[in-house]
Chain A
Amino acid sequence: MREKILKTLAHWHTAHPWRMTLVVILLTILFAAFARRLAVTTRTSDLLPEKDPKVAQFNRIIEEFSTATSIVVVIQGEERRIKEFADQLAPRILEARDTGKNDSLQEKIDKLQRKIDKLGKKERSEAKIAKLESTIRELRSQMNYKLFQRVDYKAPIEFLKEHMLMLVKEEDLTNLKDIFMGPNLVDLIPNINNSMEKEYVGQEESISTREKEDGAWGFLDGIQNLILLLQKASEGEEVPDEDVRAAADKILFGEPYLLSYDKTALLLNVIPAFTLMDRDYIMSGTRTAQSILDDLLKDFPDIEAGLSGSIPKEHDEQVYAQQSLGYTTVIAMLAILILLMVSFRMWVAPVFAIANLLVGVIWALGSAFIVVGQLNLVTSTMAVIILGLGIDFSIHLISGFTEHRAAGESIAQAMEAAFMKSGKGIVTGAVTTSCAFYALAISQSRGMKEMGLVMGTGLLAILLATFLVLPVLLVLRARLRDKRLQKKGVTKLERDISFRVLGRACDWLGRHYVFTIITSLVISVFLIWAAFQIRWDYDFRNMEPKGLVSVELIDTVVEKFDLSMDYALVTTDNVQDSYELAKEYRELGSVAITDDISVFVPSPEQQQERIPHIDEIRGKIQSATVNHAFLPDELETFKNEIERLEMNIMEMQDMAFIGGQDKVDNKCKEIVGDPENPDSPNIIRKLLQLLDGDASEVRQGLSTFQKSFAPHFKQSIIRMSSIEPIHLEELPTSILDRYSNKARNQFLLSVYPAGSIYDGEFLKRFVNDVESVSERATGVPPLSIALLRIFGRDGRNAIILTLIVVFLLLWADFSSPKRSLIAMIPLAFGVFWMVGLMYLVGIKLSLMSVMGLPLIIGIGIDDGVHIMHRWRHEGNGRLRIVFASTGKAILLTSLTTMLAFGSLIFSAFPAWGQFGGALFLGVGGCFITTVVILPGILGWIGRRSNRKKD
């Protein structure tokens, strides 16, 4: 059957080359159309099984909670300027619209309108017209699509101004309420001191966790700001009302902007109207935001700003992926072309082989669309892999055809002979490798499953191309050549090529099989030892392209804000659950902070507990008198209190130092100086020096300051001491949107890690902790662990299944389990050599490099199979011929495959480099074990067989 098909095909090619060309062109157009629709995703979650609870939950969160994915604008520069920049940027971004689809949408609308017009002339078409009109409305709504729904870069100040005190925990109210009792400076500073000394009592707890440390930092930041303004006021400098009010607000509500600890960076969180699933908008949204940013940056030359977050990262990775694949494919093709030209000592056949590959790759991409619809981070490399594997078919066919032509056969005879001799081997090889790939389809992870399906089908597509495209090219070229030679009246045969050195070397190894086997074992033991030293690389950043702004800014955010952008997500059904879970999470050592809606909606009981304190504050502040002048006797008291404040901050600093609270210690240094550096500035000391200046001028300055400060401070406290209960439904939309879904029946809790999730040990602990509180926890950290777990298991299962499949196919092929096992020996050693070499060259196990293990079984088996076939055909004692002839073929196919995989090392995506590097070593390892270990074994078998005969 197989022979009949191959014979017929060979005949068609020689009889009807132009018809076959037409078939090829039509098929290529068809597959190209499919290939064009092939989408690419670089999200790691797309490598996991869709039905995995963590993936399903993650995808649901992305769909339902717009805040789960965002564009983070990281702005760096001087504090005032970055705030100005953010204030100007936010409205511009909110106005952004996607007009790129307008033309195509208008075309669709016009088409539908014409349909409506036609239907209007017919009877009983109202329902159809209504449906079409509804579609038109839907399409119109997509025109001038508003890309972003919200920009978060400031605390919800208006809400806080109304309800701040109701949001403060009862114990904190007890400690802090002194601060709110008097509006005048002479009241405020002693009140702050009293509060600090009272708070100081419990300070060990207050700064013992990240959130408490942040609280202490924020409080000190408000004091620092006030001191700096008081310095200006004492010097008689006019302090703008706006700044005075901002200083009061900062003490009461904290810093409104999302500023870094050193105040040189600001975050602006752009919430899109689309989700991470809308690929087109990811691309256009990022481009639009970047263009707005670039425009504004022209007016702020002193500012640096860039985009980060899940959406720009996805955008950048896709752009990089496409560029990377483009040039790595070109590198692979050029390298293969040069190798083949050198090897075949001609240029036409290699060019044909590459042309055949190009067509084959288009067919493979088209078939990938049919099979899986989209390419993921792993399958994106398929073009290069297919190139490396598919070229082998061309090499065999070209070799066969040129060999027979060299023997003086006609085009038809040579083609038929090539099909019959090489075709069978090509089909067997392709089917074996495809089956090995298809074995991956049992995997749970989409990464491996899709890899198996895409590669298996792709390889069959390229096999088809090799039997349809290449022969046509060879026939047409041979006819042309014959005609040209006929005209010249000369007869010229194709060149014969051989590789005798390899044959001699392998023959020597076979004759000295004891040495060969012992040496191979020694090297293998060393490499097996090395293989067991290899470790997983938990740092997912090592898979990301270097130099990507979106990726580099992640490190900036971690450094400046001490906050990981990869955190765990948990959903709850109500606010109370959210509160309880957040509380549990905060008690975990691996958790830095949590962010959830319960902060804005305390429980009714909590609100009740806070009311007496709020009543007390309101009563005191309402009855407090605002003094518009700073009295002479108040100045001395004021100075004493400022000195007391200095001492309180110094003590807080010393406590923070022995408590290991670096942020608080550093903030204190900014205020009272560095105790280890006597020359460091102390802003309180400077204020005291200024207060010692001309008393009337100082009082005048402070009076002016107080005139603005005290009334605003008093009114703000009165306003924020509302005891109206806070209900969920009354929260501002900005807060609700941030934490709940549209139906307002699900709430999102973000859990931030206290350490680096790129540290494997910490990652495992964080995920264990997070999952111990709620099994529903998802997000990048839990997904990363799930991915490693599933990939590890899938990899192991796939290796076992692939080995079984390969063994069964070989058994069927050789009709002998013993020969099948011998053919698999180089592979078995090759796999260990591969992992051992990976360890030696510094490639760690990663999601991508581990993918190479099951693949190498399908790919690496070919060498042993070809040698065993030829050895069986030639018989004992003919190792020189076996390796000179077939050895040359496997050297060539191994080199081309290595070049294809090796080209991935030049990819901008380190993930692909790891994958390509692993397979490069794997293919190389399998080739060396085949030409070193196999001659030894075959030599030993030959010797035993000879002895038996003797």
Chain B
Amino acid sequence: MKKIMISGLIVLLIAPGLFGQELTGEEIIQKVNDQFNVDTSYAKSKMTITTSSGQKRTFISESWSKDKGEKNLVRYLEPARVKGQAVLMLNNADDIWMYFPRTQRVRKLASHAKKQKMQGSDFSYEDMGGGDAFIEEFTTKRLEDEKMERHDCYKLELTRKPDSDSSYSRLIIWVVKENFVPIVIDYYDEDDPDYHLKRLVQSNLRVIDGIPTAMKAVMHNKNDNTQTEMEILEVKFNVTLDDTMFTERELKK
């Protein structure tokens, strides 16, 4: 989902020649995937979570993404208490490290952490990860087209491949025909393909540097009846990022 939220918020304008062709589910998801996987990006975003005692807590962070979302670095700016705290996700969030400026230590999280909630939000680390997960982890079937969020959409059903370790048994994605933006994604429980777990709704599409970008994403967790709103405050694409930035050593800087 990282690819949707950060680099994934990018959508390319589709060549007019592509319209009118009857695309298969695989072709559509491939286009979605290709568009998401912008080589590099930078974003400044705001996320609000609800704490266990019911209080709202807002975080502002900067993030950098490289290699089509495979590498991600998130660094907290606000509130002051967590300023400098950072998360490094490599290999599509299979490897996660955290840096704590207070102790100046870096810790690696277990690989299974990618299935868990990220920072008390309704996004998991897996949701924030990038790469070709839609292609590699799922098989795609095209369903009957539908209108969603006032857009004419392709409706796709992605079913988890037997060897996949995704924490979702299937996904239903509504892709806007006009620009191949996955405007809504429904996530289904790992063990129960009928149990609707979460829904991501993207909105506030703006063209930035010629690229239509969803500036707002809301993840609604149906199970907990909670939702996390992520707002992009600033975004840049195809920025120059050094590979060393995405290393454990650089995390401390």
Contact = CB atoms under 8 A, between A and B. Distances in A.
A489 to B, nearest CB: 84
Contacts of A589: 221, 223-226
Contacts of B53: 562, 662-663
A418 to B, nearest CB: 66
A204 B126 CA distance: 13
Interface in A653-671: 654-655, 657-663
Contacts of B237: none
Contacts of A210: 52
A654 B223 contact: no
Given A201-B113, A208-B117, A587-B223, A660 B103 contact: no
Contact of A654 (B52, B82, B118): B82
A655 B81 CA distance: 11
Contacts of A660: 49-52, 57, 119-120
Nearest to B192: A587
B59 A204 contact: no
Contacts of B226: 589
Nearest to B103: A647
B103 A651 contact: yes
Interface in B74-108: 76, 80-82, 85, 98, 100, 102-103, 105, 107-108
A197 B107 contact: yes
Q: Chain B's interface: helix, strand, loop or mixed, by majority?
A: mixed
B119 A658 contact: yes
A760 to B, nearest CB: 13
B221 A200 contact: no
B110 A659 contact: no
Given A208-B117, A675-B81, A662 B112 contact: no
B143 interface: no
Contact of B108 (A201, A650, A655, A676): A201
A834 B187 CA distance: 48
Contacts, number: 83
A829 B110 CA distance: 68
Nearest to B189: A587
A205 B116 contact: yes
Nearest to B125: A204
Nearest to A587: B223
Contacts of B76: 658
Interface in A610-665: 647, 650-651, 654-655, 657-663
A213 interface: yes
Interface string B116-137: 1111100000000000000000
Contact of B110 (A202, A647, A765): A202
B60 to A, nearest CB: 12
A588 interface: yes
A590 interface: yes
Contacts of B102: 650-651, 654, 675
B112 A202 contact: yes
Contact of A205 (B113, B120, B223): B113
B55 interface: yes
A378 to B, nearest CB: 33
Nearest to B87: A658
Contacts of B108: 201
Q: Which of B50, B113, B226 has the most CB of A within 10 A?
A: B113
Contacts of A590: 224-225
Interface string A690-729: 0000000000000000000000000000000000000000
B225 A658 contact: no
A590 B81 CA distance: 30
Contact of B100 (A205, A651, A662, A663): A651
B contact residues, range:
20 to 34
A204 B52 contact: no
A662 B54 CA distance: 9
A662 B223 contact: no
B109 interface: yes
Contacts of B225: 589-590, 762, 765
B196 to A, nearest CB: 13
A204 B116 contact: yes
A654 to B, nearest CB: 5
Contacts of B117: 204, 208, 659
B38 to A, nearest CB: 27
B227 to A, nearest CB: 11
Interface in A492-527: none
B51 A662 contact: yes
Contacts of B120: 208, 658-661
Contacts of A205: 112-113, 116
A651 B99 CA distance: 9
B106 to A, nearest CB: 10
A812 to B, nearest CB: 54
Contacts of A588: 223
A762 B54 CA distance: 13
Contact of B51 (A208, A661, A675, A676): A661
Nearest to B108: A201
A372 B226 CA distance: 47
B89 to A, nearest CB: 13
B132 to A, nearest CB: 25
Contacts of B81: 654, 657, 675-676
B63 to A, nearest CB: 14
B113 A204 contact: yes
Given A202-B110, A651-B103, A661 B52 contact: yes
Contacts of B85: 654, 658
A661 B49 CA distance: 11
Interface string A185-219: 00000000000010011101100101001000000
A650 B100 contact: yes
Contact of A202 (B50, B80, B98, B113): B113
Contacts of A663: 52-53
A227 B137 CA distance: 48
Q: Which of A204, A208, A650, A655 has the most CB of B within 10 A?
A: A204
Interface in B13-57: 49-53, 55, 57
B78 to A, nearest CB: 12
Contacts of B49: 660
A213 B225 CA distance: 19
Contacts of A562: 53
Contacts of A208: 116-117, 120
A588 B105 CA distance: 35
A120 to B, nearest CB: 73
Interface string A122-160: 000000000000000000000000000000000000000
A676 B102 CA distance: 12
A226 to B, nearest CB: 21
A213 B52 contact: yes
A654 B224 CA distance: 23
Contacts of A647: 103, 105
A588 to B, nearest CB: 7
Nearest to A666: B53
Contact of A200 (B59, B107, B112): B107
Ranked nearest first, the 8 interchain pairs of A and B with the lowest CB-CB distance are A589-B224, A660-B120, A660-B51, A647-B103, A659-B120, A201-B110, A204-B116, A662-B53
Interface of A: 197, 200-202, 204-205, 208, 210, 213, 562, 587-590, 647, 650-651, 654-655, 657-663, 675-676, 762, 765
13 contacts: A202-B112, A204-B109, A204-B113, A208-B116, A210-B52, A647-B103, A647-B105, A654-B85, A654-B100, A654-B102, A662-B51, A662-B52, A762-B225
Given A587-B223, A588-B223, 4 more contacts: A202-B113, A589-B221, A660-B57, A675-B102
